[in-house]
Structures are given as structure tokens and as C-alpha cells.
Amino acid sequence: MPKSLKILIVRFSSIGDIVLTSPVLRCLKEQVDCELHFLTKSNYEVLLEANPHLAQVHLMDEKLEDLMPALKSENFDLVVDLHNSLRSWKLKRKLGLPSKSFYKANLEKWLMVRLKHNRLPKEHIVDRYLNTVRHLGVVNDGKGLEFHILPENELSLENHFPQLASRYVAFAIGGQHSTKKMPATKIINICKSLTLPTVLIGGPEDQELGKSIQELSGEHVVNACGELNIAQSASLIRQAHLVITHDTGMMHIAAAYQKRIISIWGNTIPEFGMYPYLPADKQEQYDLIEVEGLACRPCSKIGYEECPKGHFRCMENVEVDRIVDIANKHT
């Protein structure tokens, strides 16, 4: 009888990238006799602490070396590297174990950003993640993403946000880089025109922006930016009727809950393979909002603090009325 495999999954960051690993965890656990461990940075523990497919989450602070004795003592059979960075390469070398790494497509992204020559893989990053475990007989079960929340992080609307009715819009206004976010004036114009109560979701860095948007948008808008941890924000998204979001981790959490999503793209493009990943029978549940035909787009595979060209047309030219029409049509 074949022995059970002990597998270490590696993805150090960030919110969206870690959520996008969830089909790998589920498919491995359900299709292979295995014990799964996950290595990530300490500040992302909340994304994995409730995942039922994991036996243990190993947390890294600044120095990977501090973790090596504990990782070596686990006697893993396989390392599945879903980060594929210099740091993960060092980890694999130090562990000296069989490993598989996902295809990052850095050359293809460089060609698209620098030369606008599209050689990008015609598949979602989730499918590239899954390719790393196909040699174990794992196949995509088509169920999409997952996100699990501990009971203490589930929010009661009645207790925490009585302003929100049973149907509301969650608007994730944040973004890791400024060129991924709409100008505040556009967010305000959208919020003013939404027919449902709306809750603004973002981190501490978005708190003052959220307060300004709330004050200028009307009483139907609630600002939750900076008030919640990631899992609590996910709870608000789980209970929302519709989610408006930039290209952020919250977009992927919304996809994990199979929400109706309006996904707004600035300097990055869906073709990089990180658009909302939904089951095949739910593909009609998202709308991509982007300004097509800009010669400068994409200007980066990640983003900048300001537009390199100075005009920011990829967000300035976003059609607010289209977003509002789609949102109100589904409410």
C-alpha cells in the first residue's frame, strides 16, 4: 500500500495569491493520500488558519533560516513551490527534497509590459498552480476558490453594521499600488448613484480615504476601512449581494464566495491570468471594467505609486456610468 505523502506548499504572499492556491489544497487533499503543510509570511496567517485541508501552517518572519530546523524535522516528501522566487529557491536547496515549481511566466509578462508583445499563457494562474501537482494524478475539480473564516471573525450585521440591510454592496476601495485604484472622485460618483446600501472595505491605509468618500457620498454609505482584519472584511464580502473591487485580494475572496463581481482594472490587465476565478457555471457572474486600446497599458505587471506617463488614463477614463448601470441592474 503506497504511503501517505507529506507535502509542503510554499506561497509567501500576498492576499490574492494565497487565496488562489486554495484549489490546489482542496484537490490535493481530496484526490491524494497526503498531509498538507503551508509556509507563508506571518501577517498572512489569517488567510489559512481556518483552512480544513491543512495540517499545519508554518509562519515566516524576516529570516527563513530561523525556520529551517523546524521544517527539516517535518521530513516532507515533496515541496510544491507556488511562489517561485529566489527565497523559495533557497528554501528548496536547503531542504534538498523533491520539488515542483509553478510557471511564473516572467518573460512573457516582460514582453507584454515592455514591448506589448502578447505571448502570455492562455490560462489562469490557478491552472498553472495546479500543473505543479498533476504528476500526482491531481485534476481540477472545477469547484473554484475557497476562503474559510474562523467563527470569531464572522460578523453579525445586526451587531456590527445595523445600517446595512440584508442586501448591500461591498466596495473594496483599496489596492496594493495607486495605479490599481480609481481616483476618489470616481469612487464617490459611483457610491452616490448606487441604489443599495454600500460598505467601503479597505485596510488602515484606506481609513481616511474611506471617511472622505463616506462623507461625500450619502448616508447609505458605511466606512469599514481600517476597522476590520482580513477575515472580518471577508465576512462582509461573503454576506454582500454584489462586490465592486479593483484588481486586489478582495476580488479573489469575492470569487471564492461566488459573488456577483464588478472588477475594475487600471495599469494591470486580466490577461496576466488573475481575473476572477469562478466555477464554469458561474462565469457570467463577473464583469471586467477596463480602458482598452491604451498603448501604454500594461505599464507594469504589478503597479506604481503614480502613473509613469502622468495622465493615468487607464483609470481616469473608466466609465463610471457603466459601473453604476451594471451594479444597479443586479440589485
C-alpha cell at 294: 491604451
Task: Give the separation between CA 140 and CA 38, rounded to whole angstroms.
Answer: 20
Per-residue model confidence as pLDDT tens digits over 49-65 = 999 999 999 999 878 99
Please provide the DSSP assignment of 85-141 as one string: SHHHHHHHHHHT--EEE----HHHHHIIIII------SS-HHHHHHHTTGGGT----
pTM above 0.75, yes or no: yes
Task: Give the separation between CA 28 and CA 36, rounded to whole angstroms.
Answer: 8
Per-residue model confidence as pLDDT tens digits over 233-285 = 999 999 999 999 999 999 999 999 999 999 999 999 999 999 999 998 898 89
Do 202 and 226 contact (CB within 8 A), yes or no?
Answer: yes
Three-state helix/strand/coil letters over 31-43: HCCEEEEEEEEHH
Task: Give the separation between CA 326 and CA 331, rounded to whole angstroms.
Answer: 9
Find the helix packing angle between 320-329 and 184-193, rounded to 10°.
Answer: 30
Task: Give the separation between CA 195 and CA 153, rounded to whole angstroms.
Answer: 28
- Report residue 2's pLDDT band, with 50, 70 and 90 as the boundaries: low
Task: Tell me the pairing of strands 56-60 and 34-41.
Answer: parallel
56 three-class SS:
strand
The domains located in the chain, with CATH, are 5-136 (3.40.50.2000), 151-329 (3.40.50.2000)
Per-residue model confidence as pLDDT tens digits over 6-53 = 999 999 999 999 999 999 999 999 999 999 999 999 999 999 999 999
Q: Which residues does 65 contact at the CB level (< 8 Å), separation at least 6?
A: none
